[in-house]
């Protein structure tokens, strides 16, 4: 048995350790004002001169001596002996002490007549009205807001001393290829330092990515020596575990010291906190979502100690759709898709696999399960920390149920209409159950009933009291996907990959097997499950299975053969009152649009005659429409 | 009487007019992934290949055939005949279908022994687990979040097509000098296009600033022709009024058409909405805060129609400290400083002068008084739209009362401690009244009582029931500021500039005048009021007045003479319970710090023996401390 970690400390201990171990002295640099927005001042900034430096007219009008206007009134207009035309911003000559707006002046033969007295200094912008020479404009550690560049320019500032934290990023790993190179199977594109650089830059640091270093102790050591010399903070990507080729901890230990190896967070446990030449050196785990978690929970708080505060997360209280169990002693972070259904927020957990980067693309929020908790049950309320502006999260429509590649294209079209479709692939029955619990806005489904009809019997059974709608996306072809053009009856002689229980595709398969008198037990691979059409097609393409059942578009996307088995009605089920939501209206309009129908025809395998047709189900009544 | 505007439409009409008048077709550009964070996709982005493309090990361990493990248990360990060592990320050779973690394996003589059966595909990352070839990663009009660059790289994306909206900015005005040139009195630094460029860039547009054009019809026309050709949107800064040198509307009219001249907003009324060659051309007003209002209320919504959504404003409900009256028919925008006192938010209106850019630097929020409203009374609740993250607004301590230049330095020191001091200059009495209404956290004051003591008698009178604290900032010298070294008794023969009623400085002046038997009416300029020490000193420096009363540091900052009159106790008054707020604790620590005392000594005119000393006032008791 291998002992993997030198130490395993809690997240709070890790951040305390960091706070104690470094001086956090940021570098500073001078930037021109044009590039100052978003930067943080390293010193107070003072006005170089007063604005205005001399009394100016605040209006287009005439400069006057106020004493001369004292007796003017509607009944007794006064024609001034001494006045001068000024535009807004012109100097008010020192012999005058007020300005009258041009709208209130009658001019004739170069003489000005007025009908109202004015008080001294009316419509005059006095010296220093805006700011006085030597006054402080902004203090130290002020983040320059974009509009403030204007004020700074007006007060004579041309350059600003701002905080500059340089972070170096060293990717290590013999399996890595650089961006732009097509990896052969078993190799991967080096993407973690790009992700880290983008995250650090967004927080206000500068980030420098070094070339990839293969798993070689000496090469890694040389890169670390250089990275420490050239930066305030160094991140070493991967090699932070305790596998046979994980050198990061040993290199840090040789050049400085390993303060901690292993932190009780998930994902992200194999992180290294080290110190070389007084500078923080962090070993990031190799799994992208583990690296992202360490960036968010450890590296950004570290940056904040230099004055670079990360963007703030808004939170919403949301109802969790599935139970999440977690180990005591580990702070676990779970990515979520949060959406507002009616007045309540619902949070759908994403895959917890640390290698599934798409989870972080799909997710708009996350939650933390503290080390003291064993998890949260489905239906419980959690605090979802948003990773997008709340307004953007408000645009989410949660789509839970059967998967179809056309949903991505529907999402693409709807996005321009301000609606953000988030699909969770649970299979048709999962969608029906989510709809019953009001945990999605719409449930895509294609469930064949014994009477040969689609969807309605299941909704009547599982949501008998619901006022529901069924919006037809398309009638679509399901068939056998294979490399060699297999038909349905070829299945028993070949390896198969199935879809998950509760999926309409699996039910269609079972129905068809029964019709043809084929025993599922005779099909090798019947128990191997994947959750999308494309995943099934991929299994076929790679040779893991000879055949799968799925839609034509998945076969076509991967260049595989397709043998049609059945045409089925693929519909979006939703509660009728959901249509009161303008986002749902946009969804209906998008499904019904000519553009979407054209996309379906281009994808192939869809019949669009029924696309956009709406069926109504009232509680206790036969369906309409 | 001059008719100034061709039309005057409401803000809502202006935005409707814009919506109807343009096609809003953004340009697109291809950017490398390293520069893609924050940009908005112009097309859906697809995975170039599956990730993983082949089954990979999810753990450091051994690849096995699961069937061979079926009988393993604690009681009956199984030594495998066929297994191979794999690290995380290694290919699982096709003859194996599961991985066992190295921690669960006993190795001896190259043989592996296990004590537990494994199910097929355990710890294997199947083909396409993360994403399948051809799957959509993100749809059109998706704003790339920093961490998503990692996923995009991993899926083979190297460049992205993103929205690109080019905005041109033409500064016009013969009074303008470029950034870096010291303006002579009457000239100003051209800063509005820099402000606009920073604001537009923050929203995701690219902004190009053209050289300054003097007030010459033909030169402006030539610049506009070029600006329209080279951009999707053109902003012309200033010349949008109807003064004698305002050419913008005529130029737009000649080259295209003026759709609206004048919108019912304040500040910002003299805005022009024009169209040339189908493109929006906006004439910005010249006053900086008018320009900023037009940028925020008209130009950013216009940009949003190209897909560039502006950052979202959080709001807080806040109690307004002073009444704001507004004209019916005008949407008025007022800048605010919002701070949280206890559990309630308080909003302090900033100067409404459109030329006072510092208002927009000091403000962290604003409110809109709709065209249908005559305003809001003091004490009323308003919706404050924050212009900083809420977390930053939470750091605000509202300091209302007497002004002293040292407050800026106190703010500078406190900022690094996470506290944001916002000072409002109302004079000492204004601060006492704000404290009574709980509309500030602390009130700086220096009120001389008839018995020769400072501050306490006034607090006992105006807050008789308060449990209060007085924190001494310094004992400071007040004196006569002049160019020629005037003394107090020289005042009647010279022009004077006074401080506002209720200010401690004015009360000290009145007290001293009375002591010396000088009639205020004998002092020319006694009624001319300014609100800060520096403003008073500026009036002296520019020759508008010969003398003013103020603190030494103001005289010194402007190189003026100073004749001491009195030493007074300048203290911060606050409610005792305010100290429960950690921010107030930070304030107290900062005032008491050696660094602050050193700054006071460096500024000059302060005695620091009492700095940091706290006096307590309990209701109905003599002061302690």
The string of pLDDT tens digits covering residues A395-418 is 999 999 998 989 999 999 999 888
Say which DSSP state A314 is in.
P
Judging contacts by C-beta atoms under 8 Å, the chain B residues touching residue A186 are 54, 56, 90-91
Task: Give the alpha-carbon dihedral of A546, B136, A353, A332, to 10 degrees.
Answer: -160
The radius of gyration of chain B's CA atoms, rounded to the nearest angstrom, is 34
Judging contacts by C-beta atoms under 8 Å, the chain A residues touching residue B89 are 175, 188, 286
Cβ of A179 within 8 Å of Cβ of B153? The answer is yes
Judging contacts by C-beta atoms under 8 Å, the chain A residues touching residue B54 are 185-186, 542
Cβ B180 vs Cβ B219: under 8 Å: no
Chain B nearest CA to A180, separation (Å): 6
Say which DSSP state A112 is in.
E
Is the pLDDT at B210 greater than 70? The verdict is yes
Chain A nearest CA to B288, separation (Å): 8
Cβ of B557 within 8 Å of Cβ of A133? The answer is yes
Cβ A41 vs Cβ B222: under 8 Å: no
Q: What are phi and psi of B189, to 5 degrees?
A: -70, 135
Is the pLDDT at B3 greater than 70? The verdict is no
Cβ of B202 within 8 Å of Cβ of A146? The answer is yes
Chain A nearest CA to B243, separation (Å): 6
Cβ of A185 within 8 Å of Cβ of B52? The answer is yes
> Could you give the CA distance from residue B139 to residue A391 in angstroms, rounded to a whole number?
18
CA distances from A474 to A397, A402, A508, A588, B242 (A): 20, 13, 17, 13, 60
Say which DSSP state A392 is in.
H
> Could you give the CA distance from residue B499 to residue B551 in angstroms, rounded to a whole number?
12
pLDDT at B351: 87
pLDDT at B194: 97
Cβ of B538 within 8 Å of Cβ of A127? The answer is yes
pLDDT at A244: 61
- Maximum pairwise Cα distance, chain A: 112
pLDDT at A75: 92
Cβ A519 vs Cβ A569: under 8 Å: no
Cβ A308 vs Cβ A206: under 8 Å: no
Of residues A485, A102, A113, the one with CA closest to residue B4: A102
> Could you give the CA distance from residue A519 to residue A258 in angstroms, rounded to a whole number?
60
Is the pLDDT at A624 greater than 70? The verdict is no
Classified as helix, coil or strand, B70 is coil
Is the pLDDT at A248 greater than 70? The verdict is yes
Judging contacts by C-beta atoms under 8 Å, the chain B residues touching residue A129 are 353, 355-356
pLDDT at A380: 96
Cβ of A415 within 8 Å of Cβ of B52? The answer is no
Give me the domains of chain A, ranges plus CATH numbers: 11-26+165-304 (3.40.980.10), 27-51+130-164 (3.90.105.10), 56-125 (2.170.190.11), 315-394 (2.40.340.10), 467-617 (3.40.190.290)
Cβ A130 vs Cβ A52: under 8 Å: yes
Chain B nearest CA to A104, separation (Å): 7
- How do residues B594-620 score in pLDDT, each as one tens digit? 999 999 999 999 999 999 999 999 876
Give B219's pLDDT tier (boundaries 50, 70, 90): very high
Judging contacts by C-beta atoms under 8 Å, the chain A residues touching residue B538 are 50, 127-128, 132-133
Cβ of B190 within 8 Å of Cβ of A242? The answer is no
- Pairs across A and B, CB distance < 8 A: 352
Cβ of B126 within 8 Å of Cβ of A87? The answer is no
- How do residues B11-70 score in pLDDT, each as one tens digit? 999 999 999 999 999 999 999 999 999 999 999 999 999 999 999 999 889 999 998 998
Q: Give chain A's count of helices (H) and strands (E).
A: 17, 38
Cβ of B142 within 8 Å of Cβ of A415? The answer is yes
Is the pLDDT at B486 greater than 80? The verdict is yes
Closest Cα in chain A to B192: A150
Judging contacts by C-beta atoms under 8 Å, the chain A residues touching residue B309 are 391
Cβ of B197 within 8 Å of Cβ of A34? The answer is yes
Judging contacts by C-beta atoms under 8 Å, the chain A residues touching residue B542 are 53-54, 127
Cβ of B150 within 8 Å of Cβ of A195? The answer is yes
Mutate to test the interface with B, among A41, A53, A150 (most CBs of B within 10 A): A150
**Portion of chain B with pLDDT greater than 90, in percent:** 81
Residue A567: exposure state from Cβ atoms within 10 A (0-12, 13-18, ≥19): middle
Cβ of A147 within 8 Å of Cβ of B242? The answer is no
Chain B nearest CA to A3, separation (Å): 8
Cβ of A558 within 8 Å of Cβ of B133? The answer is yes
Judging contacts by C-beta atoms under 8 Å, the chain B residues touching residue A243 are 60, 87-88
Of residues A500, A357, A338, the one with CA closest to residue A431: A500
- How do residues B94-106 score in pLDDT, each as one tens digit? 889 899 999 899 9
Mutate to test the interface with B, among A102, A194, A393, A497 (most CBs of B within 10 A): A194
Classified as helix, coil or strand, A608 is coil
Cβ of A146 within 8 Å of Cβ of B198? The answer is yes
CA torsion through residues B153, A337, A12, B419, sign: positive
Say which DSSP state B295 is in.
I
Closest Cα in chain A to B209: A34
- How do residues B429-462 score in pLDDT, each as one tens digit? 999 999 999 999 999 999 999 888 999 999 999 9
Cβ of B544 within 8 Å of Cβ of A139? The answer is no
The ipTM, to two decimals, is 0.89
Cβ of A44 within 8 Å of Cβ of B412? The answer is yes
Assign residue B489 a region (left: φ > 0; alpha: ψ between -120 and 50; beta: otherwise). Answer: alpha
- How do residues A482-541 score in pLDDT, each as one tens digit? 999 999 999 999 999 999 888 889 999 999 999 999 999 999 999 888 888 989 999 999
Q: List helix spans (H) across A377-421.
A: 390-393, 406-415
Closest Cα in chain A to B142: A415
Chain B nearest CA to A445, separation (Å): 20
Tokens of A45: 């900034």
**Portion of chain A with pLDDT greater than 90, in percent:** 81
Cβ of A154 within 8 Å of Cβ of B557? The answer is no
Cβ B256 vs Cβ B281: under 8 Å: yes
Cβ of B190 within 8 Å of Cβ of A153? The answer is yes
Closest Cα in chain B to A314: B390
Mutate to test the interface with B, among A51, A125, A147 (most CBs of B within 10 A): A147
Closest Cα in chain B to A128: B535
Cβ B452 vs Cβ B555: under 8 Å: no
> Could you give the CA distance from residue B430 to residue B499 in angstroms, rounded to a whole number?
13
Cβ B476 vs Cβ B597: under 8 Å: no
Is the pLDDT at B371 greater than 50? The verdict is yes
What pairs with residue A249 in β-bridges?
A: none
Element (H, E) at A347: strand A344-349
Classified as helix, coil or strand, B250 is helix
Tokens of B24: 């809003």
Task: Give the alpha-carbon dihedral of A52, A58, A61, A65, to 10 degrees.
Answer: -70
pLDDT at A619: 79
Judging contacts by C-beta atoms under 8 Å, the chain B residues touching residue A530 are 126
Mutate to test the interface with A, among B100, B153, B160, B181 (most CBs of A within 10 A): B153
Cβ A415 vs Cβ B141: under 8 Å: yes
> Could you give the CA distance from residue A457 to residue A475 in angstroms, rounded to a whole number?
18
Of residues A415, A413, A409, A412, the one with CA closest to residue A392: A415
Cβ of B1 within 8 Å of Cβ of A106? The answer is yes
Is the pLDDT at B4 greater than 80? The verdict is no
- How do residues B115-174 score in pLDDT, each as one tens digit? 999 988 899 988 888 999 989 999 999 999 999 999 999 999 999 999 999 999 999 999
In 10 A of CB A451, how many CB atoms? 8
CA distances from A608 to A443, A603, B109, B318 (A): 19, 12, 65, 54
CA distances from B199 to A45, A138, B192, B194, B311 (A): 20, 18, 11, 9, 10
Of B87, B132, B141, the CB nearest to A415: B141
Chain B nearest CA to A557, separation (Å): 6
Residue B186: exposure state from Cβ atoms within 10 A (0-12, 13-18, ≥19): middle
Of B58, B149, B390, the CB nearest to A195: B149
Cβ B345 vs Cβ A119: under 8 Å: no
Judging contacts by C-beta atoms under 8 Å, the chain A residues touching residue B415 are 139-142
Cβ of A147 within 8 Å of Cβ of B292? The answer is yes
Cβ A99 vs Cβ A114: under 8 Å: no
Mutate to test the interface with A, among B89, B120, B122, B150 (most CBs of A within 10 A): B150
Of residues A110, B297, A109, A112, the one with CA closest to residue A98: A112
Q: What is the mean pLDDT of chain A?
A: 93
């Amino acid at each position: 048995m291998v002992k993997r970690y030198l130490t395993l400390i809690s997240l709070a201990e890790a951040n305390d350790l960091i706070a104690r171990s470094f001086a956090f002295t940021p570098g500073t640099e001078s930037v021109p004002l044009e590039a100052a927005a978003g930067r943080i001042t390293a010193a107070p900034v003072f006005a170089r001169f007063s604005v205005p430096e001399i009394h100016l007219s605040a209006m287009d009008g005439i400069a006057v001596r106020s004493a001369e206007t004292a007796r003017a009134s509607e009944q007794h207009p006064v024609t001034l002996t001494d006045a001068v035309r000024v535009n807004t911003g012109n100097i008010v000559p020192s012999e005058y002490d007020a300005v009258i707006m041009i709208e209130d002046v009658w001019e004739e033969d170069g003489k000005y007549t007025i009908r109202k007295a004015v008080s001294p200094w009316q419509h005059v912008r006095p010296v220093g009205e805006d700011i006085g020479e030597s006054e402080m404009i902004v203090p130290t550690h002020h983040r320059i807001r974009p509009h403030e560049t204007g004020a700074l320019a007006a007060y004579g500032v041309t350059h600003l001393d701002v905080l500059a934290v340089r972070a170096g990023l060293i990717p290590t790993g013999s399996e890595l290829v650089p961006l732009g190179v097509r990896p052969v199977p078993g190799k991967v594109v080096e993407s973690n330092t790009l992700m880290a650089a983008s995250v650090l830059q967004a927080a206000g640091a500068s980030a420098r990515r070094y070339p990839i270093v293969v798993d070689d102790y000496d090469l890694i050591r040389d890169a670390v020596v250089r990275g420490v010399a050239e930066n305030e903070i160094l991140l070493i990507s991967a090699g932070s575990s305790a596998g046979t080729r994980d050198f990061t901890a040993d290199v840090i230990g040789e050049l400085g010291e390993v303060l901690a190896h292993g932190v009780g967070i998930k994902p992200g446990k194999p992180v290294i906190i080290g110190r070389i030449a007084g500078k923080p050196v962090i070993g990031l785990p190799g799994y992208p979502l583990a690296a992202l978690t360490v960036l968010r929970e450890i590296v950004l708080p570290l940056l904040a100690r230099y004055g670079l505060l990360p963007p703030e997360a808004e939170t919403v209280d949301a109802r969790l759709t599935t139970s999440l169990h977690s180990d005591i002693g580990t702070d676990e972070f779970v990515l979520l898709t949060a959406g507002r259904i009616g007045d309540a927020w619902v949070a759908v957990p994403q895959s917890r696999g640390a290698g599934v980067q798409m989870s972080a693309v799909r997710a708009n929020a996350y939650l933390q399960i503290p080390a003291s908790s064993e998890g949260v049950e489905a239906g419980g309320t959690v605090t979802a920390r948003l990773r997008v502006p709340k307004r953007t999260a408000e645009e989410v429509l949660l789509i839970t149920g059967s998967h179809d590649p056309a949903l991505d294209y529907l999402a693409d079209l709807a996005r321009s209409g301000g609606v953000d479709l988030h699909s969770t692939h649970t299979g048709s029955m999962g969608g029906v159950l989510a709809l019953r619990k009001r945990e999605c806005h719409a449930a895509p489904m294609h469930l064949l009933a014994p009477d040969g009809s689609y969807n309605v019997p299941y909704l009547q059974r599982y949501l008998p009291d619901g006022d529901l709608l069924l919006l037809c996306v398309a009638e679509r072809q399901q068939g056998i996907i294979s490399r060699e053009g297999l038909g349905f009856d070829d299945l028993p002689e070949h390896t198969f990959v199935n879809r998950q229980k509760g999926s309409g595709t699996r039910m269609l398969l079972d129905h068809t097997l029964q019709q043809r008198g084929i025993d599922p037990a005779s099909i090798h691979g019947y128990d191997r499950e994947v959750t999308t059409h494309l995943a099934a097609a991929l299994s076929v393409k790679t040779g893991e299975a000879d055949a799968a059942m799925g839609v034509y578009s998945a076969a076509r996307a991967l260049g595989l053969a397709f043998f049609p088995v059945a045409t089925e009605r693929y519909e979006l089920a939703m509660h009728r009152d959901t249509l009161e939501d303008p986002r749902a209206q946009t969804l209906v309009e998008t499904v019904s649009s000519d553009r979407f129908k054209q996309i379906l025809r281009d994808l192939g395998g869809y019949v669009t005659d029924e696309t956009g047709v709406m069926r109504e189900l009232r509680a206790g009544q036969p369906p309409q429409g």
